[in-house]
Amino acid sequence: MSNNGVKMPIDDKLGDLEGEGKKKEPEKDSSASESPNTLVAKAREVMGNVLVDYFKGNLPGQNQQLNIDDYCSETIKKAGFDLFKIVPRFNKTNRRKVLVPHFANDLNDEQIKEMVKIVCGEYILKTDAANLANKKKFKELMNLMPEFARLREDLFFSDKETYANYYRTTLHPQIIVMGMASEHKPLATLAVDRAMDDKCITPLIARLDICLTGTNTIDKILMRMTPPSNYFFEVAEKYGAQEVIPVINNFKAVCEVYKNEWK
């Protein structure tokens, strides 16, 4: 500005330069996707609680409550999502429809390392035990770690295993997910969780043998437990997942296993 108070062109240019020096902080995009790692962590959290209820017989439609000690419950809650696969079977001896849990055999090395880290802490991967945290030596690792050996004995090899499987048997959307391939379970878990929150799908509220009567066939029940596709895509959008069709197809394929086993 000149001495007589008149604004000069140079003043405007200086003002522009001054404004450029005060750059605004970039605004955060509220619609930005969360990471795939967050997807898996959230799925573990959701499914962990469901699995504890499953093994204790607390889910809707289960026949009887079962005793699982706190030690096993905690391991199931933390690692059950990765550790277990639950499949339907038909017991020809006693003509019963049952659910049979077993240890998953399709985990890759990274999934095994993550599961072990969750159960035992991150430092385990800095010790010699890290050499066992891979697909090739997974069984050796399971035999070594008391947490997993105890689960195997208490849940799979007890004298009452056959009865326990019968008592635990029910139809529940999240237990259907537990029959899926490990890579597809995270997205499916959260899609089912959303659909159940919206009351769009529901588990059985009575025993399976009571529900499967008249025109209420296994096909119709499973159809009512399959989340509409929009729930899968909503979860995919939130966590930046790209593959959705294989997840939907895998859920439907597990439903087909239920139909074939329990028809």
Q: Are 201 and 195 in contact (CB under 8 A)?
A: yes
Is 24 domain-assigned?
no
pLDDT tens digits for 156-172?
A: 755 455 678 888 899 99
Q: Are 261 and 56 in contact (CB under 8 A)?
A: no
Cα–Cα dist 79/40, whole Å: 12
Going by pLDDT thresholds of 50, 70 and 90, the confidence category of residue 55 is: very high
pLDDT reading at 240 higher than 80:
yes
Is 12 domain-assigned?
no
Q: What range does the domain containing 40 cover?
A: 34-256
pLDDT reading at 87 higher than 70:
yes
Number of domains into which the chain is organized = 1
Going by pLDDT thresholds of 50, 70 and 90, the confidence category of residue 82 is: very high
Using alpha carbons, select from 57, 54, 76 the residue that is nearest to residue 66: 57
Is 22 domain-assigned?
no
pLDDT reading at 3 higher than 60:
no
Between 212 and 248, the higher pLDDT residue: 248
Is 6 domain-assigned?
no
Is 3 domain-assigned?
no
